[in-house]
Amino acid sequence: MSGKCYYCDKEVEKRGIKRHLKSCKSRKERIELLPCEKIKNSNYFMIEISDKYRKSDYWLYIACHKESKLSDIDKFLRGIWVECCGHLSEFVIHGITYDCIEDEDFKLDDFYVGSEEQSMNIKLKKVFDVGTKFNYSYDFGDTTQLEGRVLDSFIYYTEDKNIEIMARHNNPRYECTNCKNDAKYFSYETGPVCSKCVGEDEEYMNELGDLSSPRCGICGYSGEREDEEIYLPKVIEKQKNKHSESSAIKK
């Protein structure tokens, strides 16, 4: 399954995304145009996250500041990929579980408590290194399971966020299990079905929506592709213009 680089908008196959991001001219230009004083101590991880069972269909490549916490990645995944009804979640890294404890008023900011060793309130630099693999689970009833891997460490800077989406999958196509047309609903008994093939158990079906998440069709999930917008790279046309003007003056 192909996806899109969010720096140059190029369509790239998943197997080539890491190589593309490392050499992406647009991404390198962004870094060159950033103020030196701001990126001096801005160390980031490049992290790949994918659905455990459909790796080629659902995947993300993100930049995360090393001073960020596991709870920041949890909030990010909830915001664009899994959140439906406030279920619990956890990370497993090197055999250690980092979880959240539900607050009775369900305020996500109060969600990450517990011992220092096993709380999501732990900085990435304490649990991640290049090559680190991890598992993430959301909802321990109808569980969505994700896998992650730290691919690289690099210098970068984002103005107002610690996580930025570098690349993301295109929405996959689901075929109706009966007629092979585009599916609109998902049933735990029959799988994906189109509107014409909906059976008597229609009330137990969920709409697939825009297929932007591995959570599509499960529980009360209703996320949309637009949920990613706050995590996208900012347009830097003004900086490019300034850079061009400076170069012209020097010449």
**Boundaries of every domain in the chain:** 2-170+224-242, 173-210
From CA 209, how far away is CA 134, in angstroms rounded? Answer: 28
Any idea which residue has 């825009």 for tokens? 210
Assess whether pLDDT exceeds 60 at residue 236: no
Neighbours of 55 (CB within 10 A): 16
pLDDT in tens, 166-184: 999 998 888 888 888 888 8
Q: Comparing 100-104, 160-164, 206-210, which segment has the lowest mean pLDDT?
A: 100-104
CA distance 208 to 156: 36
Residue 201 has pLDDT above 70, yes or no: no
Structure tokens at 193: 């079905």
Neighbours of 58 (CB within 10 A): 26
Most confident segment among 2-11, 92-101, 169-178: 2-11
Distance separating alpha carbons of residues 215 and 144, to the nearest angstrom: 6
pLDDT at 249: 43
The one-character DSSP state at 232 is: S
pLDDT band at 91 (very low <50, low <70, confident <90, very high): very high
Task: Give 51: exposed, middle or buried? Use CB within 10 Å, 0-12, 13-18, 19+.
Answer: buried
The CATH label, of 3.90.105, 3.10.290, 1.10.1200, 3.40.1580, for the domain at 2-170+224-242 is: 3.10.290
C-alpha span between 81 and 223 (Å, rounded): 7
CA angle 79, 137, 62 (to 5 degrees): 50
Strand partners, 137: 90, 145
Give the mean model confidence (pLDDT) for residues 218-228: 87
Q: 181 or 217, which is more confident?
A: 181
Q: Is the pTM of this model over 0.85?
A: no
